[in-house]
Structure 1
Amino acid sequence: MRITRVVDLSVTVGPGTVVYPGDPEPRLTPHSTIERDGFNLLSVAMGSQTGTHVDAPFHFDEDTPRIDELPLERFFGPAVVVDATGLGERGRITWDQHIEPVAALLRPGTIVLLRTDWSAHYGTPAYFEHPYLDADAARRILASGVRTICIDAINLDETPDDEHPGEGFPVHHLIAEAGGVIGENFRNLGAIDWPDPVVSCFPIALESADGAPVRAVALQVEVEAAN
């Protein structure tokens, strides 16, 4: 087996990182410096849902696994990219229009990547007006055995505001009840232009946490013939 290409699917974490409204903003400050201490060391403070991250079921259900209790298989495996590009603000990703064309590829162990290209709005107010996954589509994805669903937006559900109250985060609840994982703030999904990608999105093993940042990547893997 040989990895022939790696695509970074992650945003960087720093002062400009976009956070969900009300979440802690990341603070990265020098704790030690070479000039003063002989080495560099950074003090890092951030929320568990900072940057490109994954949610454990515990994020929305007290009686379900925390991030450090989930099987690592949830964060690595073959991926299916769902083309949900072309949706406007607060567009709904549905089964019939977006998921059904790739439904035959969905099975246990598959990581679903919802490509909306909304990451192009990262850092602007429009980023919070993103497309989101329809609850019925989420149910049908979970029925296929999939337990990891990721999106290139800040929220898999609609992000509520004063004009849009949202629907109560139904997709988060459905995935939590199934013991699944949500990935958010992914990017570069359009750069996955080869069949059968493999995705890695292992989280920091934060103890008893609701989620954790990840360095998500897509891998092009070539299986070499045996001699």
Structure 2
Amino acid sequence: MKIIDLSLPVNDEVYGPPSTNVKVQFTPHNRGPGFWQVTSIDMSVHTGSHIDSALHVTEDGGTVDQFSLDQVIGEAVILDLTHIKDHQGITAADLEACQAQIQPGDIILLNTGWSDKTWGQYPRYFVDSPFLTLDAGRWLVQQKPRAIGCDFFEEYAARFKDFTSEDFIVHREILDSGIVLLEGLTNLSALPSDRIQFFGPFVKFAGIEGSMARFFAVVEE
């Protein structure tokens, strides 16, 4: 078996979404005698590869610690959207045209190749990204997946400073349905088929709306 890493690298040059524009900061702490180091981190939990829960957009929404690992580990289907261009809205018709065999309970991963090309380019990664339209979000929810993952910045309104939670139309559609939103995927084109065993373990933070995650697939060599 072979492991394929689907996670974005995060260093101290990485920024979170422009709505908050939080830059990653690593602070090493040392003590002696000898060498001993512990690093503290100041960053948004919505930086790089991460998951979202409903509390991100709904005041009484669920938190990430309420998700089970069963929701982020299992069989995944990859939809090929690599023909989608910068700034282009992905529609339900685009998703249907992928012709992948989606089954209820699948983890659905959307592959545009966007993060492969632009991760580390700020603010381009965020403001020039393809995005999901509301009808695409509704179509995805209707497939009854356990989780939905994107390798692009899927919410059009989030690139503007004056958005409200009501403008997060795709997030609300997905997260209020109890589906895990996996953000910051990469390297999906390296997967050998459109069905794989996917793993998305995350830090079990209590009472908040997001958590850093490590995405990967296990495939046959």
User: TM-score range with shorter-chain normalisation?
Assistant: 0.7 to 0.9
Query: How many residues in Structure 1 have an aligned counterpart in Structure 2?
Result: 214
Instruction: Report deviation, 1:195.
Output: 4.5
Unaligned runs of 5+ in 2: none
Contact 2:13 2:23 in 1 (8 A): no
Unaligned runs of 5+ in 1: 223-227
Q: Structure 1 100/59 Cα, relative in aligned 2: closer, same or farther at 3 Å?
A: same
Match of 1:32 in 2: 30
Note the 1:168-207 alignment, pairs <5 A.
168-207=167-206
User: What is the alpha-carbon distance in structure 1 between the residues aligned to residue 207 and residue 100 of structure 2?
Assistant: 34
Match of 2:64 in 1: 67
| 2:87 counterpart of 1:87 | no
Q: TM-score, normalized by length of structure 1? A: 0.85
Measured against aligned partners, the alpha-carbon deviations of 1:8-39 in whole angstroms (never above 9, x if no partner) come to: 11112221223101242221121125x65542
| 2:113 counterpart of 1:114 | no
Contact 1:115 1:152 in 2 (8 A): yes
Measured against aligned partners, the alpha-carbon deviations of 1:95-137 in whole angstroms (never above 9, x if no partner) come to: 22233433532312x1111111111111223312111112112
User: What is the alpha-carbon distance in structure 2 between the residues aligned to residue 89 and residue 195 of structure 1?
Assistant: 23
Note the 1:2-13 alignment, pairs <5 A.
4-13=1-10
Match of 1:44 in 2: 41
Contact 1:156 1:182 in 2 (8 A): no
Measured against aligned partners, the alpha-carbon deviations of 1:156-199 in whole angstroms (never above 9, x if no partner) come to: 2114338x99x912110101210111111111011112352111
Q: Structure 1 38/189 Cα, relative in aligned 2: closer, same or farther at 3 Å?
A: same
Q: Which amino acid aligns with 2:154?
A: L
Q: Structure 1 195/39 Cα, relative in aligned 2: closer, same or farther at 3 Å?
A: same
Q: What fraction of aligned residue pairs are identical, expressed as a percent?
A: 28
Q: Structure 1 69/23 Cα, relative in aligned 2: closer, same or farther at 3 Å?
A: farther
User: What is the alpha-carbon distance in structure 2 between the residues aligned to residue 58 and residue 144 of structure 1?
Assistant: 23
Q: TM-score, normalized by length of structure 2? A: 0.87
Q: Which amino acid aligns with 1:27?
A: Q
Q: Which amino acid aligns with 1:31?
A: H
User: What is the alpha-carbon distance in structure 2 between the residues aligned to residue 161 and residue 144 of structure 1?
Assistant: 30
Contact 1:114 1:151 in 2 (8 A): yes
| 2:128 counterpart of 1:105 | no
User: Aligned-pair RMSD on alpha carbons?
Assistant: 2.2
| 2:124 counterpart of 1:126 | yes
